[in-house]
Amino acid sequence: MNTPEAVAAAGPLAHPAAGVPDLVAAEDVLLFVNAAITATGQREFHSDADAQRLSLDFLHTSVRVNYRRVYAASLALDINHHNAALIVRALLETAGEASDEERRTEGRLIAARLALLPPPRVYRLFGELRRAKVNNRRTRAIMRDWLAARPDLGHDAVKYRAGLKTAARHIHLRCRQEAEPLPETGEFLFRPGRSRRYEHRLLDAWRRAHYEQGAVTELPFSVAEGFAAKHGMKREVFLKRAAPRMTRLERLRTQEQRVVGDRRPDVDLTAMPLTRLASYVLSLGFTQRAERRAELTGALRAAARRAAGAHAGSWGRVHAVLDDSFSSSGSGQKRRRPLAVALACHHLLEALAAPGAYRGLWTSGAGDALLVRPWGPTPLGARILDALEPGPGGAAPDRLVIVSDGWDNAPAGLAGEVLRVWRQRLDPGRRTAAVHVNPVYDADGFDVRRLAAGVATAGIRDAEDLPALVEIARFAEGRAGPEELYAYLDRRVARFTGEGGTA
Amino acid sequence: MNRLELTGLTVRPAQMWGGVRLVPLVRASPVEGLRLHREVYEGMGAGIVELGPRERYLSYIPHGLVAEWSGGGGPAAGAGGRRSAAYGTQFGGGEAPRAMPLPALPHHRMAKRRPGDRLRFLPLHLALEGYLALHFGGPSTAWEEWSRAALRDGLSPRAEDAYLGLSVRGLGDALRVFEIHPDQCGVMVYVSDALAAAFVVPHPDDYRLLHASLVEDLYGELVHQYALYGAPVPESPVRITGEEHIGGLGDLRAAALARQREWAQAHDTLFARELLDTSYTFDRVYRMKSFTLWRFLPPFVRDGGGQHIGETITDHKGRVAYLKTFRLSDAQIRRGHLLRTLAGADWEPDRAAAALGASRAELIRRIRAAGFGALLKGGV
């Protein structure tokens, strides 16, 4: 079911139920895509986690029932991990509602998406499938294929012990003699404490770590942390010794804890993903940011150049309005996320714009991007007016990008009015392309908040996806019709399953 | 003085959340020489205040305010939360006041001088006590209708109900998601577009620390009911009309500024009129060099509009440096009106009835309905 030949046969997406106007359907699709990119079921500044989850659940059910093919196809877009797992689970739970051909396409999409998800997400998804009692031949095959593609099950058995155990039990994974790593892993999971020693390096380290401090740092960091606490190892010593075995993000996360005196651990910040890096920068105090200005700005610029890739320098004159109001502080669960996205977009847009043709305006009026903080109201309208002013050469901007959660409150609605009047009176020829990207899902509206009808709004999760999002936002503006939207989705599905499905 | 003088404070666009509308007030420059600090009391806010030798005031008193007029900006000036990157995620920051580890002693007096140029006072309770003490002594002349208890003890014990801000639905959330303006020194709280409270402080840093304390304030019955039963206030986003005359970005900017001016005017004349256009009876509480702490009572006229009691600190020109108000419920306005009328007629029932334009029987009924039945003799 997961063969590359089948990819070529992937037909166009069937249009939703007959009689439904295409335009409405297209709007629903975009609404769902926006939600699937931004919503994580976590607390946001304006709404709590329950409201977010309830709202998202409704949206998923509604789209799955009404536009099942689109629902599956959204797995091919840059949606976030939370929604990808929700979609996979919903598709597998309601496989009976799909036709044979739909199931084949879904299977390919699911396999390709699972390969991209981080393993903890996948193991959690498998656990949820078990709890939901979804255990048919197809589900088992999908889980088995995914497990077979894991590079080292011994590593998973140590790091995701409960997850792997649940999955193995759920799909009756056979630990036969001929499959090399499995017998020992099976022993490890289901008959712990029997073996005197394991052949596999990590399994044996886990056994020894119970009584030997030296073995602790051979383990993956998250597992080693528990053993270190058990042995009462000093945190600084432990972090220093465990550093080589950390993943890239663990290294970034523990970086501030690993500072000894004046000596910073030599982490290559330029290799970090752009938005994560922005989050890290914002987690530092003002004095630190000012002291390490060259290093941090350099890392942000390098990450932005990498994220821009082939698009670099191709966007012409770009003016941006970036929201650093108090609401961009996010919530306790998503600390400063909207602000981090704005900061990342600031650097990415600088890389995308023609050299020297970028102007970024923060809503608070801050001039120094490195020292931004979530503070004050959101006078979006006034800042948009500033951003529409011609650049140094007297030329109007080619693109206007607004990065904001859409809560325009000083005064409310001025941004929408400014954009409306500007489009109607001052730029009817659409010389300047305006797009609003919004990092926050609005639970009450089942969408990201919009500023004005004439300006496309797209959800954004990581700033790195900005070029792809601007492509989708075209459809929201209403200039590209539903036909083009479905053709675009088909292209994305074909490309996604073509690349990911063969892996 | 008989008016509240809010010069120096500019209105900024309102922020709505559910049924609550918060209107920020911004100062171009902070009031020189006056700062306010908050001190938090232990014991779940159960507070006793000794007013006089035999008078006690009991209420929920979670915190007090300390006014400091020594001229210097105080310890929090400059180095405060302004330059901290964490601002916005840690409300109040490291300088947030801590509970004072003291035994639950009664507070001595509503306003009490502290060492140095400092005055501790209990916000809102100062004003509320002024309302409760209205003609607290009871009948001044022993007309035969008044009971012996009334002549001996006056109105004591006298009680009024108020609601804690936490129990006003939506207020806590509205304050949490409110985005404080950089130079904000005050806020007007509207619930279902009825003015519930006004709060003004001398310095933006003080405001930032005291913003959250609004949920621990007292609110009248009307405010609580409006919040509970009222629908969310309609958002009234700005509209730029006459776009056919807009020919450039400059025109657009001018139109946006005009909307801002319109809102400021509409707020002062439409929303806050009942607070600003009423003449109050001011009662001086304490004098601190060029500043004066007052509490004020409304005229208790029954014209259907809101009536506010409160306390204020004014500078030598009468401009408001600090203000906190409490909206009385209709029943409380009626009680105030009745007591004022009775006192104005020297507690003579027939004259009071005439002043109210009602019969004697009607006056007796009104006294009983207002909860002052104990003042009357049984046979009346």
Q: Is the model's pLDDT at A180 over the cut of 80?
A: no
On whether any CB of chain A is under 8 Å from the CB of B259, the answer is: yes
CB contacts of A427 in chain B (<8 Å) are: none
Contacts of B67 (CB under 8 A, 6+ apart): B34, B35, B36, B118, B119, B121, B288, B291, B293, B313, B322
CB contacts of B243 in chain A (<8 Å) are: 421, 424-425
A412–B15 C-beta distance less than 8 A: yes
Same-domain check for residues A366 and A323? yes
On whether any CB of chain B is under 8 Å from the CB of A292, the answer is: no
Same-domain check for residues A138 and A96? yes
What is the Cα–Cα distance from A288 to A30, expressed in whole angstroms?
Answer: 41
Residue A256: band (very low, low, confident or very high) from pLDDT cuts 50, 70, 90: confident
What is the Cα–Cα distance from A375 to A366, expressed in whole angstroms?
Answer: 10
Distance from CA of B70 to the nearest CA of A (A): 30
- Region label for A452, one of left (φ > 0), alpha (ψ between -120 and 50) or beta (otherwise): beta
The identity of residue A45, as a single letter, is F
Give the residues across from B67 on adjacent strands.
B36, B119
Same-domain check for residues A178 and A263? no
Residue A5: band (very low, low, confident or very high) from pLDDT cuts 50, 70, 90: very low
| Cα A275 to Cα A144, A181, A345, distances in angstroms | 33, 37, 8
Same-domain check for residues A289 and A426? yes
Distance from CA of B22 to the nearest CA of A (A): 11
B238–A421 C-beta distance less than 8 A: no
User: In B, residues 163-182, which contact A (CB 8 Å cutoff)?
Assistant: 177, 179-182
Give the residues across from A401 on adjacent strands.
A320, A435
Residue A303 lies in a domain: yes
On whether any CB of chain B is under 8 Å from the CB of A290, the answer is: no
* pLDDT mean over A359-366: 93
- Predicted local confidence at residue B91, as pLDDT: 45
CA-based nearest residue to A456, from A486, A428, A430, A477? A477
What is the Cα–Cα distance from B318 to B312, expressed in whole angstroms?
Answer: 10
* pLDDT mean over A77-92: 95
- Predicted local confidence at residue A456, as pLDDT: 87
- Predicted local confidence at residue A267, as pLDDT: 74
Residue A11: band (very low, low, confident or very high) from pLDDT cuts 50, 70, 90: very low
CA-based nearest residue to A419, from A387, A381, A389? A381
Residue A205 lies in a domain: no
- Region label for A231, one of left (φ > 0), alpha (ψ between -120 and 50) or beta (otherwise): alpha
CA-based nearest residue to B263, from B28, B29, B24, B6? B24
Say if residues A244 and A218 touch (Cβ distance below 8 Å): no
Q: Is the model's pLDDT at A63 over the cut of 90?
A: yes
Same-domain check for residues A332 and A425? yes
Distance from CA of A424 to the nearest CA of B (A): 9
Contacts of A46 (CB under 8 A, 6+ apart): A327, A407, A440, A442, B177
What is the Cα–Cα distance from A330 to A407, expressed in whole angstroms?
Answer: 13
Same-domain check for residues A20 and A134? yes
Q: Can you read off the two tokens belonging to residue A131?
A: 């709890």
Of A208-217, A331-340, A465-474, B308-317, the one with minimum mean pLDDT is A465-474
B245, with CB counted inside 10 A (0-12, 13-18, 19+), is exposed
* pLDDT mean over A474-484: 76
* Dihedrals phi, psi of B247, to nearest 5 degrees: -115, 0
Residue of B nearest to A281 (CA): B85
What is the Cα–Cα distance from B99 to B200, expressed in whole angstroms?
Answer: 24
On whether any CB of chain B is under 8 Å from the CB of A280, the answer is: no
* pLDDT mean over A41-57: 94
Same-domain check for residues A158 and A265? no
Contacts of A79 (CB under 8 A, 6+ apart): A33, A36, A37, A87, A461
Same-domain check for residues A183 and A295? no
On whether any CB of chain B is under 8 Å from the CB of A488, the answer is: no
Residue A397 lies in a domain: yes
H or E stretch at A109: helix A100-116
Pairing status of strand B15-17 against strand B20-27: antiparallel
Alpha helices per DSSP H over chain B = 125-132, 148-153, 171-177, 204-210, 221-229, 249-266, 273-276, 330-344, 349-356, 360-369
Best probe of the B interface among A286, A363, A421, by most B CBs < 10 A, is A421
Same-domain check for residues A137 and A246? no
Residue A19 lies in a domain: yes
CB contacts of A45 in chain B (<8 Å) are: 177
Inter-chain contacts counted by CB atoms under 8 A, chains A and B? 112
* Dihedrals phi, psi of A454, to nearest 5 degrees: -80, -5
Angle B196-B197-B200 from CA coordinates, rounded to 5°:
160
Give the residues across from B103 on adjacent strands.
none
CB contacts of A426 in chain B (<8 Å) are: 246, 248-249, 252
Contacts of A131 (CB under 8 A, 6+ apart): none
- Region label for A77, one of left (φ > 0), alpha (ψ between -120 and 50) or beta (otherwise): beta
A425–B256 C-beta distance less than 8 A: no
Range(s) of the domain holding residue A290: 279-480
Of A120-124, A160-164, A442-446, B69-73, the one with minimum mean pLDDT is B69-73
Task: Compute the 3-state secondary structure of chain A and give helix, strand, coil in percent, each to the nearest 5.
Answer: 60, 5, 35
Residue of B nearest to A325 (CA): B179
Same-domain check for residues A297 and A436? yes
Q: Nearest Cβ partner of B177 from A45, A375, A389?
A: A45
On whether any CB of chain B is under 8 Å from the CB of A451, the answer is: no
How do the domains of chain B map onto residue ranges? 9-147+161-236+270-329
Residue A492 lies in a domain: no
B16–A335 C-beta distance less than 8 A: no
Same-domain check for residues A351 and A459? yes
Residue A174: band (very low, low, confident or very high) from pLDDT cuts 50, 70, 90: confident
Residue A7: band (very low, low, confident or very high) from pLDDT cuts 50, 70, 90: very low
Contacts of B86 (CB under 8 A, 6+ apart): A285, A373, B93
State the CATH number of the domain containing residue A401. 3.40.50
CB contacts of A420 in chain B (<8 Å) are: 240
Residue A400: band (very low, low, confident or very high) from pLDDT cuts 50, 70, 90: very high
Percent of the residues in chain A that have a pLDDT greater than 90, as a whole number: 62
SS3 assignment, position B271: helix
On whether any CB of chain B is under 8 Å from the CB of A47, the answer is: no
The structural domain count of chain A equals: 3
User: What DSSP character marks residue B292?
Assistant: E
Contacts of B25 (CB under 8 A, 6+ apart): B6, B9, B10, B11, B12, B184, B185, B186, B187, B188, B200
A289–B240 C-beta distance less than 8 A: no
On whether any CB of chain A is under 8 Å from the CB of B94, the answer is: no
Same-domain check for residues A294 and A265? no
Q: Is the model's pLDDT at A87 over the cut of 60?
A: yes
What is the Cα–Cα distance from B87 to B65, expressed in whole angstroms?
Answer: 23
Of A180-189, A394-403, B224-233, the one with minimum mean pLDDT is A180-189
CB contacts of B263 in chain A (<8 Å) are: 411
Contacts of A427 (CB under 8 A, 6+ apart): A396
What is the Cα–Cα distance from A369 to A296, expressed in whole angstroms?
Answer: 11
Contacts of B374 (CB under 8 A, 6+ apart): B147, B149, B150
Task: Match 């409405």 to its residue by tokens.
Answer: A24
Residue spans of beta strands (DSSP E) within chain B: 9-11, 15-17, 20-27, 35-40, 46-52, 55-60, 63-68, 107-108, 111-114, 118-121, 163-164, 184-191, 194-200, 218-219, 281-288, 291-297, 308-314, 320-327
A417–B237 C-beta distance less than 8 A: yes
Say if residues B18 and B235 touch (Cβ distance below 8 Å): no
Interface predicted TM-score of the whole assembly (ipTM), two decimals = 0.87
pLDDT, tens only, A200-225: 899 999 999 999 999 998 999 999 99
Contacts of A474-479 with CB under 8 Å at 24 or more apart are A475/A26, A475/A30, A476/A30
Residue A500 lies in a domain: no
Best probe of the A interface among B211, B238, B246, B265, by most A CBs < 10 A, is B238
The identity of residue A351, as a single letter, is A
What sign does the dihedral A362-A365-A366-A367 (CA atoms) show? Answer: positive
- Predicted local confidence at residue A1, as pLDDT: 38
Q: What is the pLDDT along chain B (380 residues), one digit of tens a residue?
A: 788 888 889 999 999 999 999 999 999 999 989 999 888 887 777 788 888 888 889 998 889 999 998 765 444 444 334 444 444 444 444 455 555 555 567 888 889 898 888 999 999 999 999 999 888 888 988 889 899 989 988 888 899 999 999 999 999 999 999 999 999 999 999 999 999 999 999 999 999 999 999 999 999 999 999 999 998 988 877 888 887 888 888 999 999 899 888 888 888 888 888 898 899 999 999 998 899 999 999 999 878 788 999 999 999 998 999 999 999 999 999 999 999 999 999 999 999 999 999 999 999 999 999 999 889 988 77
Say if residues B57 and B125 touch (Cβ distance below 8 Å): yes
